[in-house]
Structure 1
Amino acid sequence: MFRKILAPLDGSRLAEKALPYVEEIARKFDAEVVLGWVIQLRPPAIPEYEAAAYGLTPLLDTSSERERARAYLQGIQQRLQQHQIRSSIKIVESHAIADAIVAIADDSGVDLIAKTTYARLGPSRWLHGNIAAQVLKRSSCPLFLVRVSEDEADRLAGEDATYSAPVRSE
């Protein structure tokens, strides 16, 4: 039923919460996993002083961010290979995360997008909106959401991922 699954990640433990489900679905359907990463560029209309207030950086040179993303995704790719799960890596740069996720899905020919969702509050919600809702609205393939409670999202927010989530055994 599913041949390719997109797992959009950002290097956070929060985003990794979807990976055990992705692994289980990939094993069940012998599907390939596309590990996606969007390097978010600051929208040009936002002045630098306002961007800093929302945690956005200009990222004129994205090479270091691209290297960090590649190293992180390669670590996950190795783990998937240990469990006989085929995978590929796709890193893109964009001002709009949801649009980039949909573009990766379309370009890679995936038939399922699996990601974590949580309640985003305050200025971050205003600035980014609900990414899961935007992806659902724009994507032509199904979206599998792993809901994380607000408490867990707060606890995991900002923690770098190590991909320590257990792999479910058959």
Structure 2
Amino acid sequence: MYEKILVPTDGSEVAEAAIDHALDIASTYGAELHTMYVIDTAAIDVSLGTEQVERLREGHFGEMPELQEEATKAMGVVTQQANEHDLDVSIVEQVTAGQPHRQIDRYTKDNDIDLVVMGSAGRTGVRRALLGSVAERTLRTTKTPVLVVDIRTEDE
């Protein structure tokens, strides 16, 4: 049923919770697991300037080693967790830049992804209305099935 699964990550606790689920599904179905780190150019436009942001969108990450290091560390958690659980899962890593939900959608189409597994920060009320969420935007954008993992407890 699932041959290729994508788990986008930003290195957060929420993303790491989704990684556990993605690894379990990939292991169960013998699926290839893709992990993706998207440098959110909308979030860094002001601090870097237009020229730097354009270079990121074109894939020139080497000029910003701190971003590459952050991406490598975040995606490395997938391999680390697979090794900790002694899972034999093929893992493909991808770093890109742009709007996360659009990059996720593009990647699913370009790589024939069968399922996206991602975390939700669980924003509610005004915060959700103002900020939205990558998970929500991805659900609205992609035609690929999306499993959203919510790490909130029942008390929250």
Q: With structure 1 as the length reference, what TM-score do the two structures score?
A: 0.70
The structure 2 residue matched to 1:80, chosen from 76, 79, 82, is 82
> Which runs of structure 2 are paired with 1:1-170 in the superposition (5 Å)?
1-42=1-42, 48=46, 57-58=47-48, 60=52, 62-80=64-82, 82-94=86-98, 96-120=99-123, 126-127=130-131, 129-149=132-152
More helix by share: 2
The more displaced of 18-27 and 75-84 is 75-84
Post-superposition CA distance 1:85-110 (Å, at most 9, x none): 1110011011x211111122222221
- Equivalents in 1 of 2:37, 2:69: separation in Å? 11
CA separation of 1:89 and 1:29: change in aligned 2, threshold 3 A: same
Deviation, structure 1 residue 125 = 5.3
Deviation, structure 1 residue 3 = 0.3
Deviation, structure 1 residue 24 = 1.1
Give the unaligned 5+ runs of structure 2. Answer: 53-62
Query: What is the DSSP-based 3-state SS (H/G/I as helix, E as strand, rest coil) of the residue aligned with 2:14?
Result: helix
The more displaced of 100-109 and 18-27 is 100-109
Q: With structure 2 as the length reference, what TM-score do the two structures score?
A: 0.76
CA separation of 1:123 and 1:149: change in aligned 2, threshold 3 A: closer
CA separation of 1:42 and 1:141: change in aligned 2, threshold 3 A: closer
Q: How many correspondences in the alignment? A: 141
CA separation of 1:3 and 1:125: change in aligned 2, threshold 3 A: same
Letter of the 1:80 partner, please give it: A
- Equivalents in 2 of 1:119, 1:78: separation in Å? 26
- Equivalents in 2 of 1:43, 1:37: separation in Å? 14
Identity %: 22
